[in-house]
Amino acid sequence: MDRKARNLVLFEEAMQKVYGPYPTDTSDPGPWQPPSTPGAGGHKGRYLWTDAFGVVNFITLSREKGGGGGHSRPLYLELARRLADAVHAVLGRTRDGAARLPGATDAEPLRGGLRIGKLDADGQDGDGQYHHYLTLWMFALNRLALATGEARWNGLAMQLAKAVHPRFMTERGGKETMVWKISTDMRRVLVNSKGNLDDVDGLVIFQLLQDTAELFARDTTNDSMEKRISLEAEIEQYRRIAAGHPKTLSGDPLDLGMSLWTCHLDRDAAWSRPLAKDGLAIALYRFLPAAQSPITAGRKQPYRLAFREFGACMGIKCYEDDPAKPLHDSVQVVLDAWEGKVLKGADEDLRPINLVMYAAALIPGGWSLRDRLLTLLRA
């Protein structure tokens, strides 16, 4: 079996461990719903970051296995739809499930934002809303819209964007800036500092949503909600904040990977070029040499977290998108080193996030569809 085929087998095995058992031999998944126990590892089985990866990974499977027609493409797109609906049904409601989050309605279900899905309601690591989780979920909905041709998913992402944006904005010393965690009801700031990438994440994701809305608006039969929403003011505010907050990298693998992933969505921006240059240097001279060491199954790896390394691998692959480049070979060595431990590891709290990010690192697929959007916009 060649490397590409083997990676696809490992990809599906990882997804089955989180969301299975789901069928693979039919176009209709029948009664399947995303499992709540253990599910994606969060509150009532839903965790926003993990499930964002889940949705996009199902889209990747729809492309990788659906190229020859048949049942695969509709099957995996339906799995992605149901997972997105499950996230909204759980994380778009209060923890007891009795009501939608404040501000949301049946007509506008994401006007109250989305909870992270933390197991604890309160405390240092309690539930709330993270800016970088929300923008990641917006991206997943955007990918679902483009993959299915259904504008409503991008409309929901724009609805979410419009609702949460002002809740993360603040001023310090007379300058516009942000906070990165707020309460589930969006009424209180829980962490009064800005995430390193929150401004540029908002900038590129909101622009992506706006571009996609313009794409769907060309269809005169489409009367989706996104025709009535503009994110231009929010995009300009992110641009102003980003201009006043130069970007640096910490060396953390996940920070490295998500930085490169964000950069690949807007390669020519003034903030993107130097950030990507620094990221590639860290990948080449620090991350990859250290991460290619063997992982011993059953033994704890001090200072190494699988999902963080997989985030780095995915970001490197998305930015350096030519599989023939040497960095891809080095990334594959890292993934090979983790294979046995991540697929056969104990059922621990981090297992779902490890598995979905492992799959995304094997085949970034749906995570690097910006070129497809640009092609459609220029058609």
Count of other CB atoms within 10 angstroms of residue 282 = 21
Q: How many CB atoms lie within 10 A of CB 16?
A: 13
Strand partners, 43: 46
What one-character DSSP code corresponds to residue 101?
A: P
Q: Are 208 and 265 contacting, i.e. CB atoms less than 8 angstroms apart?
A: yes
Long-range contacts of 373-379 (CB under 8 A, 24+ apart): 373/146, 373/208, 373/211, 373/212, 373/215, 376/146, 376/215, 377/211, 377/214, 377/215
Q: Evaluate whether 54 touches 40 at the Cβ level (below 8 Å).
A: yes
CA pair distance 29, 365, nearest whole angstrom: 22
State how far the alpha carbon of 354 is from the alpha carbons of 151, 204, 322, 342, in Å.
Answer: 31, 26, 25, 7
What are the pLDDT tens digits along the chain (379 aa)?
798 899 999 999 999 999 999 999 888 999 999 999 889 999 999 999 999 999 999 999 999 998 766 788 999 999 999 999 999 999 999 999 999 999 999 999 999 999 999 999 998 899 999 999 999 999 999 999 999 999 999 999 999 999 999 999 999 989 999 999 999 999 999 999 999 999 999 999 999 999 999 989 887 565 555 557 899 999 999 999 999 988 889 889 999 999 999 999 999 999 999 999 999 999 999 999 999 887 765 555 556 899 999 999 999 999 998 888 889 999 999 999 999 889 887 657 799 999 999 999 999 999 986 555 545 544 4
